[in-house]
Structure 1
Amino acid sequence: MYVHAIFGTTGRVNTIKPEIEEKLHSYMAGIFKNMNSPAIKKNSVPDHIHILFKLSKNHALAKVMEEVKKSTSKWMKEHGIIKFTWQIGYGAFSIQYNKVEIVISYIENQKEHHKETCFKQEFEKLIKENQMVDYNSNFFWDR
């Protein structure tokens, strides 16, 4: 199963700086690989990240996301971003194989996309497009 995961920093604080972004992405790719869920495409802007990956048949989505967020949060602190934390929630959308290239392009264009659209608008548009009925905005947009 292909999964497009999205999650932000707590309070949407702009802590994913350009100078650490590639190292964070590489570290994160290693975690996905260790969870037998290879990352296909990653991209971030200062307050959130998008990842397309193949979910392992051996690990639940929640476990993969927990490990990625926990490990990268610790890694960011070890690299000088002391007050770094990820939000509690995350979005995860299953992707049909024939849509993978579209999602890759979407993730690649995040920096350009966010010149016009904020994270909340983007995420809630994805919720509508994917007809998610059990979306709890209070959980996702933690304070």
Structure 2
Amino acid sequence: MAQNRKHSVADVVDCLKDASWNFINESKEAEVNFAWQKGYGVLSFSERHMRSVCAYVNNQKRHHRENNLNAILETVADEDTVLPDFVRDDSYVYYSMPEL
């Protein structure tokens, strides 16, 4: 989704959480009250990275299956991009979950 620069990430996430919370809990299908966990995580990118990010998302199942997420994150990140240590640390290994 594109974010209007007038709104902070926190405001957008709060709005999404509130709207989805109301939708789920007002649904006649909900058997129990839904609640979001505290906090959130956000990955953002500039418009010039849109094509590579869309390509990643379109092939996400393959990327997870091949366990090469760190390499992909590193290639889309600029030199100035602050990445969590685990992205560049080879001691972290990601395993794909079997499809349900």
TM range (shorter): 0.5 to 0.7
| Other structure's SS at 1:73 match | helix
* Greater than 4 Å deviation, 4+ residue runs: none
**Match of residue 29 from structure 1:** none
**Alpha-carbon distance change, 98 to 57 in structure 1, aligned in 2, over 3 angstroms:** closer
User: Is the counterpart of residue 131 in structure 1 residue 83 in structure 2?
Assistant: yes
Aligned-residue offset at 1:55: 1.5
**Match of residue 11 from structure 2:** 63
Q: Distance in 2 between matches of 1:83 and 1:70?
A: 13
Aligned-residue offset at 1:77: 1.6
Q: Which runs of 5+ in 2 are unaligned?
A: 75-81, 86-100
**Alpha-carbon distance change, 88 to 114 in structure 1, aligned in 2, over 3 angstroms:** farther
Q: Which amino acid aligns with 1:67?
A: C
Q: Which runs of 5+ in 1 are unaligned?
A: 1-52, 134-143
1:101-112 superposed matches below 5 A = 101-110=51-60, 112=61
Please report the RMSD computed on the Cα atoms of aligned residues, expressed in angstroms.
3.1
Aligned-residue offset at 1:57: 2.1
Mark the structure with the bigger radius of gyration: 2
Aligned residue pairs: how many? 73
1:56-95 superposed matches below 5 A = 56-79=4-27, 80-81=29-30, 82-95=32-45
- More strand per residue: 1 or 2? 1
Which structure has the higher relative contact order (CA within 8 Å, separation 6+)? 1
**Alpha-carbon distance change, 92 to 115 in structure 1, aligned in 2, over 3 angstroms:** closer
Percentage of pairs with the same residue: 25
Q: Distance in 1 between matches of 2:25 and 2:8?
A: 26
Aligned-residue offset at 1:114: 8.5
